[in-house]
Amino acid sequence: MSDEALMTAVRDGDLSQLGLLFERHHVALFDYLARMTGDRAAAEDLVQDVFIRVLKYRRSYREDGRFETWLYRIARNARADYFRTRRPAEPIVEELEHALQAPPVGANVLEHERDIDRLRRALLLLREDKRELIVLARYRGMSHDQIAELLAIETGAVKVRLHRAVKDLRDIFLQLSERPSWTVTTGIRT
């Protein structure tokens, strides 16, 4: 049964079908929110909030659009409301500390882990609208068309903004690495 059919049933009063939608989407939704906020606890709260809003606004659902797009529209609003009254948490750096304390391994492997952590921090330092484009396209696998529908902009604009976002991300990464140009180590080539 499609997401849209399940949500239509929920809208028409069969609330039990929302359990299936929760099972299908909560992990991906948590991933989106955790990558957007850098705060696991906030992401868990927000997943809860999003599904409560789905319940609350179920009668406003129209089956002519994709359920996933509607769900993420709610998630974006929930996230904005959440941080309207709270300060975003500091990015999690424990993994970097762990990498620094790890037993000596191949120098390339360690440097590669640091690169990944720098990129994660660079992503959290990136302007929020740009970070969102990258998270939706890279981690949620949304097409340019779907992102355009979600953000209510043209597909062409999504492509241009995504390209700029990746460029900005690279620049922040280079600043964090204190490197003049892009020379990323790979854990594989030791």
Partner 1 sequence: MDRDNRDSDVNEAVDVWQLLDQIPAEPTNSDAMRLRFQAALHVERQRVRWRAARWALTAAAALVLLASGIVIGRTTTTPPMPDATLVELRQELRDMRQMVTLSLLQQQSATERLRGVTFTSQIDRPGSAIVSALLDTLMHDSNVNVRLASIDALKRFTDRADVRRAALDGLTQQTSPLVQIALIDLMVELNDRGALDTLQRLSRDAEVNEAVRQRAAWSLQRIG
Among the listed residues 2, 48, 175, 190, the single contact to partner 1 using CB under 8 A: 48
Nearer to partner 1, 64 or 90 (CB): 90
Considering only the stretches 1-9, 40-48, 77-85, 140-148, report the one whose residues sit in contact with partner 1 under the rule CB under 8 A. Answer: 40-48
Q: How far is the CB of 118 from partner 1 (least distance, A)?
A: 10
How many alpha carbons fall within 13 Å on the CB side of residue 139?
A: 18
Residues 166-185 that bind partner 1 (CB under 8 A): 166-167, 169-170, 173, 182, 184
| 3, 4, 44, 111: which one binds partner 1 (CB under 8 A) | 44
Nearer to partner 1, 65 or 142 (CB): 142
Q: How far apart are CA 96 and CA 79, in angstroms?
A: 26
Closest alpha carbon to 136 in 53, 69, 88, 65: 69
Site string (137-166) toward partner 1, x via CB under 8 A: -xx-----------------------x--x
Work out whether 98 is an interface residue with partner 1 (CB under 8 A): no
Distance CA 155, CA 158 (A): 5
**How many of the other CB atoms lie within 10 Å of CB of 140?**
17
Residue 32 · residue 136 · CB < 8 Å: yes
Residue with tokens 């059919």: 5
